[in-house]
A and B are shown apart, each in its own frame.
Chain A
Amino acid sequence: MVTSIKKYQTRPLDSFKKAMELRKEYYQNVMEAKQQGKLLITGGADSMVALPAGLGDYVFFEGEPYGATISMDPEFSGKCVEAVEAKNFARDMCAYMRNYWGSMFLNKYYFGGEFPKPDFVMQLGFCDTHAKWMQQVGEYMNAPYFGIDMPVGTPGRNVDAKVKYLTSQMNDAIEWMQKVTGRKYDDDKLREAVRNECKSSALWSEIVCYNKAIPAPLEQRLIFSLYIVCILRRHERKSVEFYEMLRDEVKQRVADGIAAVATERCRLMDDSQPPWYFLQLYKYMEKYGVSVVGSHYSFFLGGSLEEMPDGSLGAPKTPDEMGMPMKTREDILRAYALWYVKKPIISQMFALPHFKSETMLRLVKEWKVNGVIFHLNRGCEGTAFGQMENRLALTKAGIPVMTYEGNMADRREFDEAQTLKRIDAFMESLGLSKLEG
């Protein structure tokens, strides 16, 4: 049965093109870093990417987004994961990592040429995978490796000690980086990079808050295309400029009542990374008038939300806005450490399930969400951590919930037909049917 419904005004997002340009430029920079006289550093997407800034020009080649990119090419991804399995590593390990490792073992960079050899490896460890992923990279590429331990623990407990721990490790990292590169470290450059990172992240947080509006100015597929700058290049001035532009455009879309999904009549959230090779999932839901307005993952991978004076969730203050001193290296590192200690993607998602459940309940309420879809993601034990308890907490609160199994970056573990059938059934339970035209 099909139903007709009124349509909101919609229009393409101008900033989308810029986001794609910045992403393309980033992967080009990875390839050409050496030719450009820049350091090439590899590590995880949530690493403290501003930290090497004091060394001068560099490109931080992030593992997870690269693994996600590879997953969109089934042929190359297939070769990568098989190369990893041929070395006796298990196929249930992080799927991003297996794509990245496979590309490394095959010595093939997805965008052409050989796999880029890093000058050094730097990682922030907060799940079972991060630190060990890069241990293998350091050994295989014969590149020096420095890991920073992110003290997860119970949010709010022992904050000073955690900040001190991170600060001390960063100080060690700076000494170490100078030693392995022979470069002098410039604190002014560090300050600028940390400011850019915090500002980019705060702007992203502000942008996702505009999605509380009905109709939502952004939907999840678009959000994934836009958050990538905050993942790959958040420590750069270009990132801040991009998010200022995006923020202004999204704000205007809300003022003008512009919808991302013209037929929005149901707002959903999802959970975990999507199957990157099947983003048509969101397009399929649009046929029902569904706008997926975001997720704990897509909001917090690049951003952070804090309680505002009126009790709602809003963008966090940057260290400068909080009045934190940023004069000395110690000041900057302390501010940077605190920023990471408070990051919800780490403190909630990787601590204990109920912390994330509490936030999800708030997101559902404030973003006026009608239901939640969990991607039970076999490709990432980090985002799959606690999902079933999150699901129970939402169900207990009367929120309709659906799950489907899959893998964000290994399509061998995804059943497209079954997933769409489950979505159809969920839509039916929400009283939705496909729309005309």
Chain B
Amino acid sequence: MTLDRAKEIVTNRHDYAREWKKKTGSKVMGYFCTYVPEEIVYAAGVLPVRVIGSHEAQSYTEPHIYAMFCPFSRDVLAQGLRGKYDYLDGIMIGHSCLHLRQAFGAWMTNVPASFSYYMYTPAKIQSPHAKELMLAETIEFKKAVENWLGRPITDGALDKSIEVYNTNRRLLKQIYELRKADPPPLFGSEAIELVLSSQLSDKAEHNKILESVLKELPQRRNGPQGGNIRLMIIGSEDDDTNFLRYVEGLGATIVADEHCTGSRYFWNETIPEKDRLRAIGNRYVNRPPCPTKDWESRRRFVHIMNMAKEYNIQGAILVQQKFCDPHEFDIPPLKALLEKNGIPSLFLEFDITVPIGQFRTRVEAFLEMLQLEVV
């Protein structure tokens, strides 16, 4: 199945990027957070790839990041310091959390790259003025990329990039729509792999993968079983597909998610307009928010509850990277809101490596409780 190709890209992401570079003779840019206008990078002929977790124990970051910062940010930096991303020509981050920005800052200082850029993406996306600032920042970013490459990014290239990205988002959303069925035709771990592989590969190529997956899924025989507990996963960056696979091996199917490694990444499209940069910027302001950008009112919770209803979930696993302040703010009120709406939840705190034995007991107990509720 083509789903395997997505998994292969995630597993062999470094080989993929190196091969792409060799094949195209172009540059690769690593980005640290999904609040970056990737379309500009792609329009410049550069491959944007997200730096995700390795889940390998490490001892490289202690001199660079104080241990109270989240394991994901330390895992990301460790890979840079170890040279795992030595093929990157540039790095980039959009303003989101302090944790990841620190990893970016330390990477920028200690790992050579010919281009590094920190872009401010407004935190108060609910302000009517956020889009204007986003536009100004997007314009500056485009100029910086052009200066780096020594060539302009044309309107035609931007149009093509927007179209490729929108197609990717549309296809992913179509696949997510299928997950509303019982049983859904694919596992949650596979859905996350589709999103992760999108973040790690050439979108044009990825679109072909998604089209094939869409064609293959209706005929699939070895997907999730009907009658499994329907779970939603919610929270911090979560690229630990092994853990998801494990949960799904215990009689549950993850049918929906609210992660930047999942639905938040692709949920909304760029609405084309004459001012291409404005259109691109608006999309990032309008996307389902990360907790850091969800104030004064709680729009994120509305989005989560809508998803929970549409996907008919029976329980939720709240995943939080240890020390992740933005999610630490949202989890207690979110847990209360889910419970108020009859959705039990299990809170799990993730580290670079997951204590699978301890989590097994907790997940099993949670599923058992849900099964009793169903009965």
Interface of A toward B, CB cutoff 8 Å: 87-90, 92-94, 125, 127-129, 131-133, 135-136, 138-139, 145-149, 151-154, 157-158, 161-162, 164-165, 168-169, 172, 350-354, 376, 378, 381-382, 384-389, 392
User: Is B137 a contact partner of A158 (Cβ separation < 8 A)?
Assistant: yes
Nearest 4 CB-CB pairs, A to B?
A153-B120, A149-B124, A161-B136, A132-B329
B124, closest chain A residue (CB): A149
For B295, give its contact among A87, A92, A132, A378 (CB under 8 Å).
A132
- Determine the distance from Cα of A419 to Cα of B5 in the docked complex, in whole angstroms: 54
- Determine the distance from Cα of A387 to Cα of B330 in the docked complex, in whole angstroms: 26
The answer to whether B291 has its CB under 8 Å from any CB of chain A is: yes
User: Is B124 a contact partner of A125 (Cβ separation < 8 A)?
Assistant: yes
- Determine the distance from Cα of A47 to Cα of B104 in the docked complex, in whole angstroms: 27
Taking CB atoms and an 8 Å cut-off, the chain B residues in 322-375 that contact chain A are 323, 325-326, 328-333, 335
The answer to whether B3 has its CB under 8 Å from any CB of chain A is: no
- Determine the distance from Cα of A172 to Cα of B130 in the docked complex, in whole angstroms: 13
User: Is A151 a contact partner of B122 (Cβ separation < 8 A)?
Assistant: yes
The answer to whether B8 has its CB under 8 Å from any CB of chain A is: no
**Using Cβ atoms and an 8 Å threshold, which residues of chain A touch B323?**
90, 92, 381
**Using Cβ atoms and an 8 Å threshold, which residues of chain A touch B122?**
149, 151, 165
A353, closest chain B residue (CB): B105
A121, closest chain B residue (CB): B296
The answer to whether B97 has its CB under 8 Å from any CB of chain A is: yes
**Using Cβ atoms and an 8 Å threshold, which residues of chain B touch A128?**
97-99, 292, 325-326
User: Is A131 a contact partner of B105 (Cβ separation < 8 A)?
Assistant: no
**Using Cβ atoms and an 8 Å threshold, which residues of chain A touch B109?**
353-354, 389
Interface of B toward A, CB cutoff 8 Å: 62-66, 68-69, 95, 97-99, 101-102, 104-106, 108-109, 118-120, 122-124, 127-130, 132-133, 136-137, 140, 291-292, 295-296, 298, 323, 325-326, 328-333, 335
22 CB-based A-B contacts, threshold 8 Å? A88-B335, A92-B68, A92-B323, A125-B295, A132-B329, A135-B329, A148-B124, A149-B127, A153-B119, A153-B120, A161-B136, A162-B133, A168-B132, A169-B129, A350-B98, A352-B118, A354-B108, A387-B66, A388-B63, A388-B64, A388-B66, A388-B106
B121, closest chain A residue (CB): A153
- Determine the distance from Cα of A223 to Cα of B276 in the docked complex, in whole angstroms: 51
Tell which of B66, B95, B127, B140 has the most Cβ of chain A within 10 Å.
Answer: B66
**Using Cβ atoms and an 8 Å threshold, which residues of chain A touch B106?**
353, 388-389
Min CB–CB distance B120 → chain A (angstroms)? 3
**Using Cβ atoms and an 8 Å threshold, which residues of chain B touch A378?**
68
User: Is B328 a contact partner of A89 (Cβ separation < 8 A)?
Assistant: yes
- Determine the distance from Cα of A354 to Cα of B118 in the docked complex, in whole angstroms: 12
- Determine the distance from Cα of A136 to Cα of B127 in the docked complex, in whole angstroms: 19
**Using Cβ atoms and an 8 Å threshold, which residues of chain B touch A89?**
328-329, 332
**Using Cβ atoms and an 8 Å threshold, which residues of chain B touch A168?**
127-129, 132
**Using Cβ atoms and an 8 Å threshold, which residues of chain A touch B326?**
128, 132
User: Is A384 a contact partner of B68 (Cβ separation < 8 A)?
Assistant: yes
- Determine the distance from Cα of A389 to Cα of B118 in the docked complex, in whole angstroms: 17
**Using Cβ atoms and an 8 Å threshold, which residues of chain B touch A165?**
122, 129-130, 132-133
- Determine the distance from Cα of A376 to Cα of B120 in the docked complex, in whole angstroms: 27
**Using Cβ atoms and an 8 Å threshold, which residues of chain A touch B335?**
88
A391, closest chain B residue (CB): B63
A84, closest chain B residue (CB): B332
User: Is B120 a contact partner of A158 (Cβ separation < 8 A)?
Assistant: yes
User: Is B296 a contact partner of A352 (Cβ separation < 8 A)?
Assistant: no
**Using Cβ atoms and an 8 Å threshold, which residues of chain B touch A154?**
118, 120
A157, closest chain B residue (CB): B140
Known: A151-B133, A376-B68, A388-B64. 20 other contacts (CB 8 A): A89-B329, A93-B328, A93-B329, A128-B99, A132-B292, A139-B333, A149-B124, A153-B118, A158-B140, A161-B133, A165-B132, A168-B128, A169-B127, A169-B129, A352-B118, A353-B105, A381-B98, A387-B66, A388-B66, A389-B106
Tell which of A88, A354, A388 has the most Cβ of chain B within 10 Å.
Answer: A388
User: Is B129 a contact partner of A161 (Cβ separation < 8 A)?
Assistant: no
For A388, give its contact among B65, B95, B331 (CB under 8 Å).
B65
**Using Cβ atoms and an 8 Å threshold, which residues of chain B touch A136?**
329, 333
Min CB–CB distance B152 → chain A (angstroms)? 20
- Determine the distance from Cα of A135 to Cα of B98 in the docked complex, in whole angstroms: 19
A135-B296, A386-B102, A392-B64 given; A351·B118 CB < 8 A: yes
A128, closest chain B residue (CB): B325
**Using Cβ atoms and an 8 Å threshold, which residues of chain B touch A88?**
331-332, 335
- Determine the distance from Cα of A295 to Cα of B64 in the docked complex, in whole angstroms: 21
A168-B129, A352-B108, A384-B68 given; A151·B120 CB < 8 A: yes
